[in-house]
């Protein structure tokens, strides 16, 4: 058994696709129109056949409430592994990304938390050897 899909609720799929591809660097894998929304996934360019991240519309009231509550409490919805958190922090900051937590060493990892502009906080993490 392996993880195939995971999702993140987003307020607007087009805006989310731009952020997750043009800013974070993921690539679009699947886009299937389904009425007013799409089945829309992105993947890491380092592992195009790996886990897909579904950019899921937050149209259901429970999804929107969940998303808003986590963000209000400062809790990231996902964590993405990076080689160097501080370098990624500098790169993303230069692109205008707003961080709610600058890089901090928390034992076995260095983390930073950013706002994805789509209603979520995301963590980037560098796992130390």
- What number of other Cβ atoms are within 10 A of residue 23's Cβ? 16
**pLDDT in the model for residue 129:** 81
**pLDDT in the model for residue 82:** 97
Pair of tokens at residue 23: 């800013």
Query: What backbone phi and psi angles, to 5 degrees, belong to 69?
Result: -65, -45
Measured CA to CA, the distance from residue 87 to residue 45 in angstroms comes to 18
User: Of 77, 56, 55, which Cα lies nearest the Cα of 66?
Assistant: 77
Pair of tokens at residue 103: 């890089």
Q: List pLDDT tens digits, range 65-102.
A: 999 999 999 999 999 999 999 999 999 999 999 999 99
Per residue of the chain (129 residues), give pLDDT as tens: 999 999 999 999 999 999 999 999 999 999 999 989 999 999 999 999 999 999 999 999 999 999 999 999 999 999 999 999 999 999 999 999 999 999 999 999 999 999 999 999 999 999 998
**pLDDT in the model for residue 22:** 98
Mean pLDDT of the chain: 97
- The domains of the chain, with CATH numbers, are 5-127 (3.10.180.10)
Q: Give DSSP secondary structure letters for 34-86.
A: ETTEEEEEEE-TT-TTS-EEEEEE--SHHHHHHHHHHHHTT--SEEEE-S-HH
Dihedral angle computed from the Cα positions of residues 96, 100, 26 and 11, in that order, rounded to the nearest 10 degrees: -90
| Contact in structure between 85 and 103 (CB atoms under 8 Å) | yes
């Amino acid at each position: 058994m392996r993880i195939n899909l995971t999702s993140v609720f987003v307020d607007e799929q087009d805006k989310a696709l731009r952020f997750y591809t043009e800013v974070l660097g993921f690539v679009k894998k699947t886009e299937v129109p389904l009425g007013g929304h799409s089945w829309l996934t992105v993947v890491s360019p380092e592992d195009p056949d790996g886990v897909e991240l579904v950019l899921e519309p937050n149209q259901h009231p429970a999804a929107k409430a969940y998303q808003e509550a986590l963000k209000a409490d400062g809790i990231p919805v996902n964590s993405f592994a990076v080689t160097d958190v501080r370098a990624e922090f500098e790169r993303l900051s230069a692109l205008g990304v707003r961080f709610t937590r600058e890089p901090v060493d928390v034992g076995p990892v260095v983390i930073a938390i950013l706002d994805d502009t789509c209603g979520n906080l995301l963590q980037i993490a560098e796992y130390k050897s």
